[in-house]
Structure 1
Amino acid sequence: MNDRRPGLDRRAFLRLTALGVGAGAVVTLTGCGTFDSRGPIDTVGTVDFRNRLRIPPLAESTQRDGTTVFNLTAQAGRTAIVAAGETDTWGINGSMLGPTLRARRGETVQINVTNELDEATTSHWHGMHLPAAFDGGSHQTIHPGDTWSPSWTINQPAATLWYHPHPHGQTERHIYRGLGGLFILDDDDESALDLPRDYGVDDIPVIVQDKTFDDQGQLVETSRRDNGMIGNTIVVNGTAGPVLDVTAQRTRLRLLNASTARSYSFGFSDDREFAMIASDGGLLREPTRLTRLLLTPGERAEIIVEMSAGHTTTLRSYPQDLGLSSSRSRSTGATDTLDILLLQAGGSLAPSEAIPSRLATIDPLDESSAVETREFELRNDRINRESMDMNRIDDVVTVDTTEVWEVWNGHRQPHNFHVHDVQFQILSIDGRDPSPELSGWKDTVYLPPDVRLRLIMRFTEYTDPAMPYMYHCHLLWHEDRGMMGQFVVVEPGQEPGPIDSDHDH
């Protein structure tokens, strides 16, 4: 059945939305099967902004033989999120969420992850280029009481990445309960730019999630309706009703959509412009001015907002429209208007340098050098009609080669696409050049229904014929239900082996 609204064909839809990330454009997410038709939520003017925004601490580290060592512990706890009372939560080195990891290009890190939960989990380094055995996907299980200690050398540009659990079939639930945190990478090129960089002062992590609570303040796992849990309360860094005290003329917000199913069309309550400076994999070539920015689950962006002394504004998510039926839009929160974070500037603000007009050099990958073009259709909780099988290798890639992946959403429902290990560039969207916001390095991208995206990526350094990376929809209920595949990277002429169960810790 065609769920697109009458009078809005695909090309008109693309012109109007430009994938929802251009100035003034908005996007929707919808379910993957059955859906309800609840009314839209509008929290404008109803959020009690009284809680100072919690800033996740920077993770402590030690040095051992030239390696930076971090210690993380997944644990259960109790957290007071809403006024009604405390709730059971999970966290890393605390009761909810985790510290911000920070490392520099060229630095070797070791992360000791101990599981003190009563069930197995994993820790995936989302957006990171690293060996498959240390990726933290579904094969790197950490059983209760065990410690997993991956180690690798950072070799990619400065970026805002994140870490989160990835247990097969349980990822949505583990993230919803509170596991996850930012992983910030630095490099010399980014450090040389005049950008806000005082963490927690003018460089602010903004981890946005939607939750549902009962009358006692207890976190509730709601019905998924085949799409995933859509909450009615927004928390930022685990804070409900959050307030950010702005102390500088320009503030850098590192936005992460850590929700499991909901997308956000970010903007400000006064429709002020902001400058987007980075996407998933790092800095853009130059700042792009926006009033709306779509982030689907798993995506990140860095923006800079300018404020005047004594002024306030509210970070808000606006209604989104991808041309789907009105009932599907309502059921997935696409018609909601949500106040997220109050920014209030003090009576005097520290001066900030103007945003540089040039940010980074991004050399385009050469399509003519691609040795393989692969096609991926997402439909009915499957990719290319196959449900995830932990023991099946779906694709074999040769190291030091470039490939084009053509990806599309084949059934007029919302999906996005995340690839482990690599950052990709978008060659085209239904034959058109990507908008400036999509012109940088990406590891997760939204797939509008019936729109073909051509992605180009290069696979370097790491090979392992027996341990796969993943690709999947990052609407986590879809991933949990099987919308995921696996690929290995091998040496030239090397055959993939049976998947190595020794990596199941």
Structure 2
Amino acid sequence: MASPPRRLRRLLLGACALALTLVTAIVAAVAWTWADADVSTVGTTEFTTPLHIPPLAASTVDAAGTRVFSLDMRTGTTEFEPGRATDTWGFNGSYLGPTLRAARGERVRVQVRNQLPEASTVHWHGMHLPAAMDGGPHQMVDPGAAWAPEWAVDQPASTLWYHPHPHGATEDHVRRGLAGMFLIDDGPSSHLPLPSAYGVDDIPVIVQDMRLRGTRLDGAHAIFRDIGFLGDRTMVNGTLSPYQEVGDELVRLRLLNASTARTYTFAFDDGRPFAMIGSDGGLLERPATLDRIPLSPGERAEIVVRMRPGERTVLRSEKLAAGLDFWANRFSGGDDTFDVLELRAASTLRPSPALPQNLVPPSIPDGTDSVVERRFDLTSAGINGERMDLSRIDTTVTRGTTETWIVHNIDGMAHNFHVHDVQFRVLDYDGAPPAPELGGAKDTIFLPPNTAATLALRFDGPADPTTPYMYHCHLLWHEDVGMMGQFTVVEPGQQAATPPKHSH
């Protein structure tokens, strides 16, 4: 029998060997996870499928002159790959929805019916409208129920979109396929010589990432992915490996990042420049020449690219350069690259008029008449240290006033910031004047860690002391877990009321 000192030495040696084995296994697992964390489809994508163009939604005009649309939220199946049916959700179909289109000055009504197995909402992202029509978490529509918001369109021509906004389930509902574009037209934009034939030289480009798992769209969050769901493939308008044939010298792409967490850096494979003509809230004051543009979830950009007869070029998402550390960049998708959409020019192209040097005057405040300055600190624990509470009003603003909001990401991960109802001007970004792509009307802005943006917002109403709007991170899992607050617009001297309680 071994003596006690020998037994102790054996136990210690065994414990050390076990610890070394565990450390080696952990290091190997982390190294494997690191090596497996980036995704690239660059150079391997075979563009085999014509791009699906969402149809323009049918509408009628009633006796009072109101334009009426109908949207049904449905379950269904979609063949993203031939012969492989995937369970999906959509508006008026199995995946995504039609493009709604209306003109400034029109009154619109959207008849929404929920045929899903659970409650949801329809939020009009970027739209200026009464809070009760906004489609946030206070306007839930139960299964089998209907909702008919109505409002007057009163904002410049712009590329907006619609999607669900149920508190705690927004990421899941959007990822399943509930999204679509809402285009606003107006007189000044219609007189500009811009590509404007929908689906011909004016192309909607709804970009999403996805992962197929059996008969369903996978929504799992991989290890260390505290940003939310990240897929291993991209699609445009619900089309995998898409190409678009074009017959005009100039092509307008209405880019929408409809992914739930992924930020894209859009560029072309040959590095060609393009003209950015519009951002979230409408056309810029003048075109900006760029060769890449980052868009975080919820952001939009209208770009115009010049094509030459017979050529092909690929819209690509390159690595993200946002000042993230190597770990955060890796596990938030910053090292991922994708071939997104191939443009194929005809052998003979229709001539396009030159882009105008000036587009439209700015419609956003410059901050000189600001009456209040507020600060919003963003962390994964909430906004200003508090998680979302549907019964709490976080901010009250006075109708007709301009405010300055300083939004600061003090977290170690990337966030963005979306404000309902209003379009804002970026006065300052990370201590410097905003880049050209941030020079127009915005409702969503990307904020890497330790980055602050100063925004000017004007609240033109209408006032409603009982119904709030939202502001939140539009990385949708972050929104779901509480990175959201509420603000109410009131008349001068009026106080906000407690929001009505509801069963959701």
Tell me if both proteins adopt one fold, taking TM over 0.5 as the criterion: yes
Go from structure 1 to structure 2 and tell me whether the alpha carbon gap of 1:464 and 1:131 turns closer, same or farther (over 3 Å shift): same
Q: How high is the sequence identity, in percent, across the aligned residues?
A: 54
Match status 1:402 vs 2:391: no
TM-score (norm 2): 0.91
Deviation per residue, 1:383-439 (Å, 9 max, x gap):
000000000000000000000000010023100000000000011113321112111
Residue identity in the other structure for 1:416: N
Unpaired runs of 5+ residues, structure 2, are 1-31
CA distance in 2, matches of 1:412, 1:441: 28
Q: Please state how far the C-alpha of 1:335 moved relative to its aligned partner.
A: 0.6
Go from structure 1 to structure 2 and tell me whether the alpha carbon gap of 1:36 and 1:498 turns closer, same or farther (over 3 Å shift): farther
CA distance in 2, matches of 1:444, 1:364: 14
Correspondence for 1:167: 166
Residue identity in the other structure for 1:192: H
CA distance in 2, matches of 1:201, 1:453: 37
Which shifted more, 315-324 or 56-65? 315-324
CA distance in 1, matches of 2:381, 2:50: 40
Q: Please state how far the C-alpha of 1:236 moved relative to its aligned partner.
A: 0.3
CA distance in 2, matches of 1:467, 1:308: 52
Correspondence for 2:414: 414
Correspondence for 1:446: 446
Q: Please state how far the C-alpha of 1:320 moved relative to its aligned partner.
A: 1.1
Secondary structure at the aligned position of 1:454 is classed as: strand
Deviation per residue, 1:179-232 (Å, 9 max, x gap):
010000000000000000000100000000000012x46321122532110000
Secondary structure at the aligned position of 2:330 is classed as: helix
Go from structure 1 to structure 2 and tell me whether the alpha carbon gap of 1:364 and 1:81 turns closer, same or farther (over 3 Å shift): closer
Go from structure 1 to structure 2 and tell me whether the alpha carbon gap of 1:84 and 1:171 turns closer, same or farther (over 3 Å shift): same
Match status 1:474 vs 2:470: no
Correspondence for 1:424: 424
CA distance in 2, matches of 1:280, 1:205: 14
Residue identity in the other structure for 1:86: A
Correspondence for 2:465: 465
Q: Please state how far the C-alpha of 1:363 moved relative to its aligned partner.
A: 5.3
CA distance in 2, matches of 1:336, 1:39: 9
Residue identity in the other structure for 1:41: V
Tell me, yes or no, if the aligned pair for 1:381 and 1:478 is still in contact at 8 Å.
Answer: no
Secondary structure at the aligned position of 2:101 is classed as: strand
Go from structure 1 to structure 2 and tell me whether the alpha carbon gap of 1:204 and 1:293 turns closer, same or farther (over 3 Å shift): same
Match status 1:52 vs 2:54: no
Deviation per residue, 1:97-140 (Å, 9 max, x gap):
00000000000000000000010000000000000000000100
CA distance in 2, matches of 1:377, 1:333: 23
Correspondence for 2:14: none
Match status 1:351 vs 2:351: yes
CA distance in 2, matches of 1:455, 1:160: 21
CA distance in 1, matches of 2:230, 2:442: 25
Tell me, yes or no, if the aligned pair for 2:121 and 2:140 is still in contact at 8 Å.
Answer: yes
Secondary structure at the aligned position of 2:478 is classed as: helix
Correspondence for 2:141: 142
Match status 1:255 vs 2:255: yes
Tell me, yes or no, if the aligned pair for 1:372 and 1:402 is still in contact at 8 Å.
Answer: yes
CA distance in 2, matches of 1:274, 1:217: 39
Q: Please state how far the C-alpha of 1:364 moved relative to its aligned partner.
A: 5.8
Correspondence for 1:127: 126
Go from structure 1 to structure 2 and tell me whether the alpha carbon gap of 1:367 and 1:219 turns closer, same or farther (over 3 Å shift): closer
Match status 1:79 vs 2:78: yes
Correspondence for 2:192: 193
Secondary structure at the aligned position of 2:175 is classed as: helix
Secondary structure at the aligned position of 1:372 is classed as: strand
Residue identity in the other structure for 1:333: G
CA distance in 2, matches of 1:369, 1:333: 40
Deviation per residue, 1:476-495 (Å, 9 max, x gap):
00000000000000011111
Correspondence for 1:309: 309
Residue identity in the other structure for 1:350: R
CA distance in 2, matches of 1:397, 1:328: 35
Secondary structure at the aligned position of 1:368 is classed as: coil
CA distance in 1, matches of 2:150, 2:87: 32
Correspondence for 2:25: none
Correspondence for 2:331: 331
Correspondence for 2:10: none
Matches within 5 A, 1:105-116: 105-116=104-115
Tell me, yes or no, if the aligned pair for 1:287 and 1:358 is still in contact at 8 Å.
Answer: yes
CA distance in 2, matches of 1:289, 1:481: 38
Q: Please state how far the C-alpha of 1:366 moved relative to its aligned partner.
A: 4.2
Residue identity in the other structure for 1:462: P
Correspondence for 1:376: 376
CA distance in 2, matches of 1:204, 1:473: 28
Correspondence for 1:244: 244
Q: Please state how far the C-alpha of 1:447 moved relative to its aligned partner.
A: 1.0
Which shifted more, 262-271 or 444-453? 444-453
Residue identity in the other structure for 2:328: R
Residue identity in the other structure for 1:451: T
Secondary structure at the aligned position of 2:368 is classed as: helix
Correspondence for 2:97: 98
Tell me, yes or no, if the aligned pair for 1:82 and 1:217 is still in contact at 8 Å.
Answer: no
Correspondence for 2:155: 156
Q: Please state how far the C-alpha of 1:56 moved relative to its aligned partner.
A: 0.2
Secondary structure at the aligned position of 1:328 is classed as: helix
Which shifted more, 363-372 or 394-403? 363-372
Correspondence for 2:218: 220
**Higher RCO (CA < 8 A, seq sep 6+):** 1
Q: Please state how far the C-alpha of 1:283 moved relative to its aligned partner.
A: 0.4
Deviation per residue, 1:43-89 (Å, 9 max, x gap):
12211211000000000001112100000000000000124611000
Which shifted more, 318-327 or 243-252? 318-327
CA distance in 2, matches of 1:120, 1:426: 35
Match status 1:177 vs 2:193: no
Q: Please state how far the C-alpha of 1:336 moved relative to its aligned partner.
A: 1.2
CA distance in 2, matches of 1:322, 1:436: 16
CA distance in 2, matches of 1:55, 1:96: 12
Tell me, yes or no, if the aligned pair for 2:417 and 2:447 is still in contact at 8 Å.
Answer: yes
Correspondence for 1:13: none
Query: What root-mean-square deviation, in Å, do the aligned CA atoms of Structure 1 and Structure 2 show?
Result: 1.5
> Size of the alignment, in residue pairs?
469
